[in-house]
């Protein structure tokens, strides 16, 4: 009897959004890690030299499950310029996410102002207790805070919701740039991102999805331009 072998599915190839002498802008697919990880699965960085025909220079990353706009430098000088811009929070980032519930009335912008700190097992958490998170007219903040975390702020605006308000499409702008910031913020205010099994509830049918429903929709990069990636095909459209 012949043995059955599992065949690993090849990851989707990133789509080219823009290229010039200094940068390449890609639409990274969900499920493709930016750099090599413990799984040994194919990653974006190992594939880029062949895809681009030259050596790439890392500027920033997207989580493996996150899709969307990613900027790559084509020379060391541009890498240094862009790294300074990202570190100085001069690059504006806009993400789209599908989340559980209705975080805010459609069209209204709110601020999630919840400091973060490292948690257990390489995760991150809000630097306070869930019971101390207050939902006020302007957004969310901690009623008690001992100063032990790092400032973390996210602007949120609900774009659309399902008729039963069980899930919503939201626009997110991270003002700070902490690791997993959007995922932690959404989970701790009670509206986890669909498909987020790290910070959400794996057993929840509401949160079930084939991928992490988080997409870097647009980056505005000083001196280089504004770059957008189209929505994943199964997501509802928005203006």
- Domain containing residue 40: CATH number: 3.30.2350.10
The model's pLDDT over 130-186, given as tens digits with 9 standing for 90+, comes to 999 999 999 999 999 988 899 999 999 999 999 999 999 999 999 998 999 999 999
Q: Give residue 46's domain range.
A: 15-88
Domain annotation covers residue 129: yes
Number of H helices and number of E strands within the chain?
3, 13
> Is residue 104 located within the same domain as residue 78?
no
Cα–Cα distance for residue pair 130/5, rounded to 1 Å: 46
> Is residue 33 located within the same domain as residue 76?
yes
The model's pLDDT over 36-91, given as tens digits with 9 standing for 90+, comes to 888 788 899 999 999 999 999 999 999 999 999 999 999 999 999 999 999 999 99
Contacts of residue 29, Cβ cutoff 8 Å, sequence gap at least 6:
11, 12, 13, 14, 67
Cα–Cα distance for residue pair 23/224, rounded to 1 Å: 9
Model pTM? 0.91
Domain annotation covers residue 132: yes
Find the catalytic residue in 20, 63, 113, 164.
63
Mark whether 63 is an active-site residue.
yes
> Is residue 75 located within the same domain as residue 173?
no
Cα–Cα distance for residue pair 223/32, rounded to 1 Å: 28
> Is residue 117 located within the same domain as residue 79?
no
Q: How far is CA 61 from the centre of its chain?
A: 10
> Is residue 38 located within the same domain as residue 106?
no
Q: Residue 152 — left, alpha, or beta (φ > 0 → left; ψ -120 to 50 → alpha)?
A: beta
> Is residue 39 located within the same domain as residue 81?
yes
Q: Residue 89 — left, alpha, or beta (φ > 0 → left; ψ -120 to 50 → alpha)?
A: left
């Amino acid at each position: 009897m012949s043995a059955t072998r599992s065949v690993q599915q090849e990851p989707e190839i990133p789509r080219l959004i823009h290229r010039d002498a200094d940068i390449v802008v890609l639409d990274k697919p969900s499920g493709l890690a930016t750099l090599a990880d413990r799984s040994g699965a194919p990653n974006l960085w190992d594939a880029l030299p062949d895809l681009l025909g030259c050596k790439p220079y890392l500027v920033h990353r997207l989580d493996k499950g996150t899709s969307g706009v990613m900027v790559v430098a084509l020379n060391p000088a541009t890498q240094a310029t862009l790294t300074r811009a990202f570190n100085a929070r001069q690059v504006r980032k806009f993400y789209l996410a599908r989340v559980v519930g209705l975080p805010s009335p459609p069209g209204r912008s709110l601020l999630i102002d919840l400091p973060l700190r490292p948690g257990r097992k390489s995760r991150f958490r809000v630097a306070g207790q869930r019971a101390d998170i207050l939902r006020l007219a302007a957004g969310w903040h901690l009623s008690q805070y001992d100063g032990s975390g790092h400032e973390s702020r996210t602007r949120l605006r609900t774009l659309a919701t399902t008729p039963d308000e069980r899930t919503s499409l939201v626009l997110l702008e991270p003002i700070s740039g902490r690791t997993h910031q959007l995922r932690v913020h959404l989970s701790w205010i009670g509206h986890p991102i669909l498909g987020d099994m790290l910070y959400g509830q794996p057993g929840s049918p509401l949160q079930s999805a084939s991928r992490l429903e988080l997409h870097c929709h647009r980056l505005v990069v000083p001196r280089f331009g504004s770059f957008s990636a189209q929505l994943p095909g199964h997501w509802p459209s928005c203006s």
